[in-house]
Amino acid sequence: MQELVIKGPTKINGSISISGSKNASLPILISTVLSKGSCVISNVPNLRDTKFLISILSNLGCKINFKNNVVAIHSSAISKKIADYDYVRQMRASIVLLGPIIARYSSFKIALPGGCAIGTRSIDLHLDALKKMGVQIKILNGYVVASRKIKKLNAINHRFSKISVGATQNIVMAATLANGISTLKNCAIEPEVMDLISFLIKCGSKITISQRTIKITGNENLNLSNHEIIPDRIEAGSYILAAMATKGKITIKNFLIEHLEEPLKIFKKMGLKIKKIDTNEYLFSCSGIKPINLIQTQEYPGFPTDLQAQLITIFLKNGNQSKIKENIFENRFIHVPELKRFGADITLNSNTVIVNKVNELNGAEVMATDLRGSFSLIIAALLSKGETTISRIYHLDRGYEDFDLKLKQCGVNIKRKNNE
């Protein structure tokens, strides 16, 4: 198992290019099982989660080649109707296989998913809608066992009880092969959801969107189409926050700035300066942090929960006292005890953290706990005096392509090594 060694303190100063979005790549690759045929998906990040999913799809019978961030996929026949525990236990997004496969085939069995331990993230939102579409579902021995006796899924008029990216993606995909017009309300509208819908429309789906309502007209004759994945807004936001925390500057290429419109408004109030250099290329710099009393995570277009951990690090040595409230997941502060090992002054009160400025942080031995929380440890290491060792960095490899190489490009003294 590998670990990171970072020597600080260090200012971020350099240039990087943003990789394709992990959270867009996974559902789009999954959606190819809706139709026979072949397609090429480009700008796919080379990540642990991507490789996990490709292994799952290959095991089910898809023919896949993944090279140089391009996936060539042929999904004419799903020869296996079970996604085994060994394949799906490490990736929460695997549950999104259920909708498209049960829409195309009469049965499917999938192990209950794994992934980051940052909340319950109940799959009931997925299952309730699929049941309304005519799917019979049992939970048996750790598996979701799904079947249908009807020829095609029923179109539904359904309101999600809670906004969910995964449930929206799952049911939108299932509805593309349903009999009739489905209306889904209270949907997630994240850029990653929109990218999936863009791909499905290219493949022949008729989908319209009005605020949080999505209408899908079923079409059994979908034809797979080539597609380029959007850039990863969370990766971009993570590097911007690293530059802000260290009072540095970073040029970011291949970045759709409109995907972080609301967070960037907050960052600008805090002291971030933004200069457009070229198409989808921007210079971000910060010479000082202004405190903001309270920042709350919200569904898109609000402040993303996936940037909450990184945001906390901004205030470790800046801003006197700041509060951050987590409204999406109930257990998304598991990185806080690790940040305290650097000497951070953080108080956790239910779903709110209070961060008090300290004058000095010191390098420490810390453990990555989840994907996004792990990046907060990197930023804390950049702010700290001395050497920091971060273990369990497989969490980072799940969502940040070549992050150590990109940080080196920005002047960071960072290296991977095998721990014993």
Can you tell me the distance from the alpha carbon of 390 to that of 109, in angstroms, rounded to the nearest whole number? Answer: 37
Can you tell me the distance from the alpha carbon of 325 to that of 295, in angstroms, rounded to the nearest whole number? Answer: 6
Residue 141 CB partners (closer than 8 Å, separation 6+): none
Residue 144 CB partners (closer than 8 Å, separation 6+): 95, 98, 109, 110, 111, 112, 123, 127, 137, 138
Can you tell me the distance from the alpha carbon of 82 to that of 78, in angstroms, rounded to the nearest whole number? Answer: 10
Give 44-67 as a DSSP string: ----HHHHHHHHHHHHHT-EEEEE
Distances (CA, A) of 341 to 20, 309, 330, 347: 33, 15, 23, 13
- The continuous run of DSSP H or E covering 105 comes out as none
Can you tell me the distance from the alpha carbon of 80 to that of 61, in angstroms, rounded to the nearest whole number? Answer: 6
Tell me phi and psi for residue 84, to 5 degrees.
-70, 155
Give the three-state DSSP class for 291. coil
Tokens of 125: 């939102």
Give the three-state DSSP class for 323. strand
- The continuous run of DSSP H or E covering 27 comes out as helix 22-31
Catalytic member of 39, 116, 187, 286: 116
116 catalytic residue (yes or no)? yes
Please return the burial class of 138, using the count of CB atoms within 10 Å of its CB with bins 0-12, 13-18 and 19+.
exposed
User: Any idea which residues carry the catalytic annotation?
Assistant: 116
